[in-house]
Amino acid sequence: MDSTIKAWRIMRLLALYRIVLALLFVFLIYSGYLPDPLGEFHPALFNTSVFLYVITSLLAIYPLLLKTPHFTWQVYAHTSIDILLFTVMMHASGGISSGVGMLLVVSIANASMLLAGRMSVFFAAMAAIAVLSEQFYSQIHVQVGQYNYSMAGLLGLALMVTSVLATVLAKQARENADLAHARGLDLANMSELTEQVISQMATGVLVVDQQQKVRLINEAARRLLDAPSQSIGTPLQYFSTELNLQLRVWMSEHKSFYVKQRVDTLPASLFVQIVQISSGGDDRKAGVLIFIEDAAAVDEQSQQLKLAALGRLTAGIAHEIRNPLSSIGHASALLAESPSLPEEDLRLTDIIKENTARVNRIVEDVLQLGNRDRVHKEEIELSTWLKRFLDEMEYLTPDIRSLVVFDNQTQLPIRVYFDSGHLHQILNNLFRNACAYASLSEQKPEVILKLSGGHARSTFIEVINNGPPVKEQDRDRLFEPFFTTTAKGTGLGLYLSRELAQANQCHLAHQQQKNHTCFRLSFSAQAVIEED
């Protein structure tokens, strides 16, 4: 179907060529500028053949527009008319020496481009026979000098060679066109497939040109950058100022590869990786490919791997440590009941009891850590939940009522998706630590439970105390397992709290605020429920 459309297009160009050539002959005849020897020997015959050529060229427009009959039959008719009328014009102009016969070469070349094999050679042979017939007629009926068989033979040979070459070249051109068309379809299909694959990727993908304009972005990248409406061709800074800054820094360092790094200043905590796109030697066309991933999702996948190993570890701990530990505690209690035990030995049994209880707490914390992947998220209204939590803490420990302050900085209710058991465990650990350290303050002890956030603002809960600040050398190790600053601590409380926060796609961090120590639980955008 595509080759037929191209054939009709060529037919229209050839029809235009014939009309222009015919009108040129008419203009030369009426203007008196008809060059010799055109029409010199038989002016009336030449003029008649020209007018017939004009009429046939104009009449050919109608079937060409209707595309009926088939274009091959129209080529047959046009080529036959060309052979006949050009031969007559050549005869009226003095034969082969007039040069009119070269128009036959053009007609045969045109026919060979549109016809296949034998038919193009057939018309070339017909044109050669017409030329030789004109020479034979001139030899019989016209005076000597108007015929030249050698030149007629050469013209006939030229017509045959033109036909063969034009056929071969046209065939090759059609094959190249078909190949280019097939390659174009393959490229279009591959491009569409690539776009579909990129659009369905969970990883965000951006293509940025040398002018820092975005040329391609998938839906995942729009979601992660919170840029649903920006159009293609918009500068990167309108998608994300922080990402644009990262790109400029990377380009200033003249690196070809950007190691995946975590960026926490974007709408969501992201992993960003920048890769140079090959410019083909032209720096003006150089660009970069930017991959962005949701850090929370990556962390969650990493945590799943750790949990698998941790589950096996906790099962071993429960079997290998807890049972012997229970036996040690029971034996120590029996030993303490002995009436003949000296006073100094009773102190040793107390030591055994205290350390047994401490190891037991470590085992319980590790077992809870192994179960942290069992997340049952539910909708929680934070301000109401936190009030109930404080009431529970004050009921269990009445002594803390004088030092606890609830600072609710929200104007509207904030709802989040979070495991309530995990949230209680996190805040219980932070709250008890804060109360313990606040009691060591040289000033009036104070513990602040702060809730902040709302529409278009980050949501977080802070547990603040005015106790002794965390030492500078200890701040980087606060969330390491088994790291503790107290003799009776297990070192797993903060580590477990952070792991539970990550299991709910949130983040727990420490901040030192002048004379106050703050632990902030930040809720991710995925955890916060947007109000309609």
Q: Which two tokens stand for residue 159?
A: 């017509």
Please indicate, yes or no, whether residues 99 and 19 belong to a single structural domain of this protein.
yes
Tell me whether residue 506 is in a domain. Answer: yes
The DSSP annotation for 238-265 comes to GT-HHHHHHHHHHHHTT-SB---EEE-S
Q: Which domain holds residue 350?
A: 298-370
At 247 the pLDDT is: 83
> Pick from 266, 295, 324: which residue ends a domain?
295
Q: Chain-wide mean pLDDT for the chain?
A: 82
Note whether 13 and 137 are same-domain residues: yes
Rounded mean pLDDT, 291-313: 70
Determine which of 59-68, 189-198, 358-367, 446-455 has the lowest per-residue pLDDT on average. Answer: 358-367
Are residues 179 and 57 part of one domain? Answer: yes
In a domain, 206, yes or no: yes
194 within domain boundaries? no
Instruction: Please check whether residue 398 is in contact with residue 333, taking contact to mean a CB–CB distance below 8 angstroms.
Output: no
> Are residue 161 and residue 212 in the same domain, yes or no?
no
More confident call, 53 vs 528: 53
pLDDT of residue 80: 94
282: helix, coil or strand?
coil
Regarding whether 270 and 213 lie in a shared domain, the answer is: yes
Q: What are phi and psi of 269, to 5 degrees?
A: -65, 125
pLDDT at residue number 16:
93
Is 442 found in the same domain as 323? no
Whether residue 102 is contained in a domain is answered as yes
| Residue 254 C-alpha from the chain's centroid | 24
Is 39 part of any domain? yes
Q: Is the pLDDT of residue 7 over 60?
A: yes
pLDDT above 60 for 265: no
One domain, residues 122 and 216: no
Q: What is the CATH number of the domain that holds 396?
A: 3.30.565.10
Residues 382 and 345 in one domain: no
Q: Which residues lie closer than 8 Å to 256 by C-beta, 6 or more apart?
A: 276
- 287-294 and 378-381 as β-strands: parallel, antiparallel, unpaired? unpaired
pLDDT of res. 317: 66
Mean pLDDT, range 183-200, rounded to an integer: 82
Rounded to an integer, the average pLDDT of 22-36 is 90
Which range among 88-97, 268-277, 390-399 shows the weakest confidence by mean pLDDT?
A: 268-277
Q: What percent of the chain shows pLDDT beyond 90?
A: 18
> In the structure, what pLDDT confidence band is assigned to residue 51 with cuts at 50, 70 and 90?
very high
Q: Tell me the one-letter amino acid at 374.
A: R
Q: What is the CATH number of the domain that holds 226?
A: 3.30.450.20
Overall domain count for the chain = 4
Q: How many CA atoms lie within 13 A of 41 on its CB side?
A: 18
In this structure, the answer to whether residues 397 and 252 fall within a common structural domain is no
CA of 44: how far to CAs of 26, 39, 50, 86, 97, in Å?
A: 13, 8, 10, 15, 19
pLDDT at res. 1: 46
Tell me the residue type at 324.
P
In contact, 83 and 133? CB cutoff 8 Å = no
Buried b / exposed e over 206-223, threshold 16 CB at 10 Å, is bbbbeeebbebbbebbbb
The amino acid occupying position 139 is Q
Is the domain of 277 the same as that of 219? yes
User: For position 368, what pLDDT does the model report?
Assistant: 64
For residues 11 and 97, state if they share a domain. yes
The reply to whether omega before 69 is within 30° of 0 (cis) is: yes
Q: Please indicate, yes or no, if residue 351 is contained in any of the structural domains.
A: yes
Given this model, what pLDDT does residue 451 score?
A: 92
Confidence of residue 257 (pLDDT cuts 50, 70, 90): low
Query: Can you give the pLDDT at residue 82?
Result: 94
pLDDT one-digit tens code per residue, 445-483: 899 999 988 755 688 999 999 988 888 888 878 887 777
Instruction: Mark whether 153 and 246 lie in a shared domain.
Output: no
Whether this model's pTM surpasses 0.95: no
Residue that is last in its domain, among 260, 295, 330: 295
- Cβ burial, residue 77 (10 Å; 0-12/13-18/19+): middle
Q: Cβ–Cβ contacts within 10 Å for residue 154, how many?
A: 13
Residues 473-486: b if buried by 16+ CB within 10 A, e if exposed: eeeeebbeeeebee
Q: Does residue 472 lie within any of the structural domains? A: yes
Domain membership flag for residue 196: no
Q: DSSP string covering 424-479, please?
A: HHHHHHHHHHHHHHHTT-SS---EEEEEEEETTEEEEEEEEE-SPPPPGGGGGGTT
More confident residue, 312 or 240: 240
